[in-house]
Structure 1
Amino acid sequence: MKHIPTTRHTSTSRRASTRGLARPALLAAAAVCCLAAGTAATAAPAAASPATADTRCGAGELCLWEGAKYRGTRHTYELSGTDIESCIALPAGAAANALANRTGRPVTTYQSAECAETGEFDTYPGSGTLAPQTPYRVRAFKIWEN
């Protein structure tokens, strides 16, 4: 076993001067750490995609995007132009992979363009539901009374 010599300081004046130098260095390191954490915390909300979907889809609307994370072509439907509890198919060849339900009513999405329950289907509450990635390609939907 190799012996490593250590130096012991017994003088109180030497200890005081070492502490005096260490304290500002520790304070500076803590300040840098806190600034870095603060920068990361303020940068995170700007990158959040649900906030952008919420602002791009107005109150009373159902918005469906062809791409995940609210990208690609957006299809927007309003209550005033939609028959309640009727199957509404997206345009021919279109399918959605993300949605924002701001209708205030439940919406059921269907994998089938005919709203057939033989394929996948899910119901999203109307209280501002945001889905950046649907579990299947949505081809049709129904807006429910409540």
Structure 2
Amino acid sequence: MSRLEFDAKGFYLDKKPFTIVSGTIHYFRVVPGYWEDRLKKLRACGFNTVETYTCWNLHERKEGEFDFSGMLDLAKFIRTAQELGLYVILRPGPYICAEFDFGGLPSWLLTDPKMHLRCNDPRFLQKVSNYYRRLFEEVRPYLAENGGNIIAVQVENEYG
């Protein structure tokens, strides 16, 4: 199990100094047949980590109906990175920007006129919680604490 820690001097992986050299590949923007090739090229450039957003609007196009297949098979993408010796920084939003309309939030959130987005509104937080619960069913085996290659998670993006 790898454990990423930090202090004023830098990052440490398993108590040893570690420099994160990361590049971004959005699995949902690359045909799955090319994932291995693109990740190999990332590795060949000297990167040790790949970071990727997850797109709530793609994984839950309709409320309560989740899709993690084909181009959305996040677990397969992470597993491929692991097989190639790459760590992962997972960026699940909920808001990701990433040049997506509505920042990757699902449009069905707008059907509740009383909901306030990207804040501590209980209605919004419940929807995020439902998404995260399902998302983390997919990625839990790949968390570093479970022996996987996800060493960090960035929640939210470009907030405030």
What TM-score do the two structures reach when normalised by structure 1?
0.25
Higher helix fraction (1 or 2): 2
Q: TM-score, normalised by structure 2?
A: 0.24
* Higher Rg: 1
Of Structure 1 and Structure 2, the greater strand share is in 1
Relative contact order higher in (CA < 8 Å, ≥ 6 apart): 2
